[in-house]
């Protein structure tokens, strides 16, 4: 009877060890998609941030007196804002638009090469 108890205990210990190893592999397999999702979340945050910056720049340009905000196109890529227009703006309007854009949180740089000067 003693041999049976020792054999049963050894079998149980071996089974638990193998189950623990299998569980560890399962945990690693399920963590990989989470890591991938974290990378995708970073990309989504960047997109959201760029969208927010674009919206904020447009709103600020529209509400500023003396700037033709509706004529200025705003594009943002990774925090870099590009301003352009199909209608001509004065140099002072161009400078004001750039100054307003630079004040917005998250803006890394501003390119106003696309703004046509009178």
- Residues 64-86 pLDDT 10s: 999 999 999 999 999 999 999 98
Q: What does the pLDDT average to over 84-106?
A: 93
pLDDT higher at 91 or 8: 91
List Cα–Cα distances, 112 to 42, 94, 116, in angstroms: 28, 7, 9
Q: What pLDDT, on a 0 to 100 scale, did the predictor assign at position 12?
A: 57
- Percentage of the chain modeled with pLDDT above 70: 59
Q: Are 92 and 84 in contact (CB under 8 A)?
A: no
Distance CA 102, CA 111 (A): 10
> For the residues 24-34, what does the mean pLDDT come to?
52
- Does 17 score more than 90 pLDDT? no
Whole-Å CA distances, 116 to 22, 33, 52, 67: 65, 48, 25, 13
Tell me the backbone φ, ψ of residue 47, rounded to 5 degrees. -60, -45
The residue-averaged pLDDT of 107-115 equals 94
The mean pLDDT of 32-48, rounded to a whole number, is 58
Q: What is the mean pLDDT of the chain?
A: 78
CATH number, residue 60? 3.30.300
Specify the number of domains making up the chain: 1
**Position 57 pLDDT exceeds 90:** yes
Domain of residue 96, residue span: 2-114
Q: How confident is the model at residue 37 (pLDDT cuts 50, 70, 90)?
A: low
């Amino acid at each position: 009877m003693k041999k049976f108890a020792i054999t049963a205990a050894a079998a149980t210990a071996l089974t638990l060890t193998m189950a623990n190893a299998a569980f560890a592999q399962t945990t690693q397999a399920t963590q990989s998609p989470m890591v991938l999702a974290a990378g995708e979340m970073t990309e989504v945050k960047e997109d959201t941030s760029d969208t927010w910056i674009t919206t904020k720049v447009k709103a600020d340009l529209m509400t500023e007196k003396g700037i033709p905000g509706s004529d200025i196109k705003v594009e943002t890529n990774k925090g870099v804002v590009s301003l352009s227009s199909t209608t001509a703006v004065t140099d002072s309007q161009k400078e004001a638009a750039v100054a307003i854009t630079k004040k917005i949180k998250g803006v890394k740089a501003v390119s106003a090469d696309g703004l046509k000067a009178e």
